[in-house]
């Protein structure tokens, strides 16, 4: 299903300024706020869509990419750069954009007449995943085993007596302007509004146990060394009935290929041909990251010639196209000759066909490098 245009979600034109984008988001957020629309799933989805649209359009770099490529700039697993509002929970949105509601009745009072109860989030976990060039070229689904903290079966909770389940503590202080009341996060339950009542044997002080779990990670094609992907909700859990799990952060490591060298989305390969093959011409089968291809080596090919196979490199993770497969021809010069071979080349040494005679179409090494990067 096609995704709705971000400007349309916020009721804006594509020429909207940052001030107008902020105003448009605040308007939609107030309209669909969960406190104003309790138990309304449609309003909740619209609230998340507005947060997703604002997350992209409020960032100048992401906005420029969206204006040029649309949703394709952020499609793919883990959003490829946007967070994908539909996959976020409400607490993530409030923690990221809570300041946007300032002065509008949210937070301190809210539509429900009180503070929003905080939901404790578990800690994130980090792992490394190694990929071959072939896996990077096509994208891959990896299954990894992780040991994460989860709530033990049988753990129970009760309402926090310090804050009576609100997650907030009210403090009154005397100032030169008079008595002022402020709300702070409850120090007993950390804002969760509940504390542990009982826990089974084997659980830690928070009612958690360590459990091994197999997690499936969808890795998009074209990732690079050092890219970090996020699998939401697969980190450590936190105590409490209303808590949410942390995230699993996946750091990508690239396994160096034996014969191929990566340069961005381009792949380089050194192909060695014999002296006679360079003179007479031949055909060769070359293994690329997407399969074998057959190439033709023309008669009289010079060492250093570069053959470019368009679109046979790696795809861009941001969907800007696919790189090329660059074959560097290296003519192998014999290091040892028998008597007959030596006599032949001695005889040919004065032959004009064996004398170097480059023309204007034969580019120098530096010109070839320049062309390669242009």
H and E: helices and strands count for the chain: 9, 15
Q: Please give the pLDDT value at position 85.
A: 41
Of 331, 333, 323, which is closest to residue 261 (Cα–Cα)?
A: 323
Mean pLDDT of the chain: 82
Confidence of residue 109 (pLDDT cuts 50, 70, 90): very low
C-alpha dist (Å) from residue 124 to 48, 81, 144, 208, 280: 22, 19, 16, 15, 61
Most confident of 107-111, 256-260, 318-322: 256-260
User: What is the pLDDT, as a whole number, of residue 95?
Assistant: 54
Mean pLDDT for the stretch of residues 42-71: 87
Cβ atoms < 10 Å from Cβ of 228:
11
Report the alpha-carbon distance of residue 63 to residue 100 in Å, rounded.
18
Whole-angstrom distance, CA of residue 323 vs CA of residue 267: 8
Cα–Cα distance for residue pair 304/291, rounded to 1 Å? 24
- 85-118 b/e (C-beta count within 10 Å ≥ 16 → b): beebeebbbbeebeebbeeeebeeebeeeebbbb
Rounded CA gap, 297 and 137, in Å?
A: 26
Half-sphere exposure of 62 (CA within 13 A, CB side): 18
Most confident of 31-35, 219-223, 346-350: 219-223
The answer on pLDDT for 255 being more than 90 is yes
Residue ranges of the alpha helices (H) in the chain? 6-9, 18-32, 41-57, 60-69, 90-97, 133-138, 275-280, 339-348, 365-373
| Residue scoring higher pLDDT (73 or 293) | 293
What domains are defined for the chain? Answer: 1-116 (1.10.287.110), 120-151+208-256 (2.60.260.20), 156-198 (no CATH), 260-373 (2.60.260.20)
Residue 81: its pLDDT value, please?
Answer: 41
């Amino acid at each position: 299903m096609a995704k709705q245009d971000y400007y349309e979600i916020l009721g804006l034109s594509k020429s909207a300024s940052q001030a107008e984008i902020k105003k448009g988001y605040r308007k939609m957020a107030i309209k669909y706020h969960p406190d104003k629309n309790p138990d309304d799933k449609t309003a909740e989805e619209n609230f998340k869509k507005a947060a997703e649209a604002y997350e992209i359009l409020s960032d100048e770099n992401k906005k420029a990419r969206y204006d040029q490529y649309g949703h394709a700039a952020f499609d793919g697993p883990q959003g490829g750069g946007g967070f994908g509002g539909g996959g976020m929970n409400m607490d993530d949105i409030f923690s990221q954009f809570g300041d946007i509601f300032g002065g509008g009745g949210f937070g301190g009072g809210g539509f429900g007449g009180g503070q929003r109860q905080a939901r404790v989030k578990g800690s994130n976990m980090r792992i490394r995943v190694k990929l071959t060039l072939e896996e990077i070229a096509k994208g891959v689904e990896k299954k990894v085993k992780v040991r994460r903290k989860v709530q033990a079966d049988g753990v129970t909770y009760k309402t926090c007596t310090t804050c009576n389940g609100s997650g907030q503590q009210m403090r009154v202080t005397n100032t030169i302007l008079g008595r002022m009341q402020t709300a702070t996060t409850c120090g007993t339950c950390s804002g969760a509004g509940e504390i542990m009542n009982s826990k089974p044997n084997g659980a830690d002080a928070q009612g958690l146990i360590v459990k091994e779990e197999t997690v499936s990670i969808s890795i998009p094609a074209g990732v690079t060394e050092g890219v970090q992907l996020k699998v939401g909700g697969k980190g450590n859990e936190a105590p409490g009935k209303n808590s949410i799990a942390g995230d699993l952060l996946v750091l990508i490591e690239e396994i160096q290929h034996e014969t191929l060298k990566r340069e961005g989305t381009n792949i380089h390969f050194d192909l060695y041909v014999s002296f006679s093959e360079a003179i007479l011409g031949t055909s060769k089968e070359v293994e690329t990251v997407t399969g074998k291809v057959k190439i033709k080596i023309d008669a009289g090919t010079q060492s250093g010639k570069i053959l470019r196979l368009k679109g046979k490199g790696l795809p861009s993770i941001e969907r800007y196209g696919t790189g090329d497969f660059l074959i560097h021809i290296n003519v192998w010069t014999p290091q040892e000759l028998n008597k007959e071979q030596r006599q032949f080349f001695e005889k040919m040494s004065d032959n004009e066909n064996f004398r170097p005679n480059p023309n204007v179409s034969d580019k120098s090494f530096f010109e070839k490098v320049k062309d390669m990067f242009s």
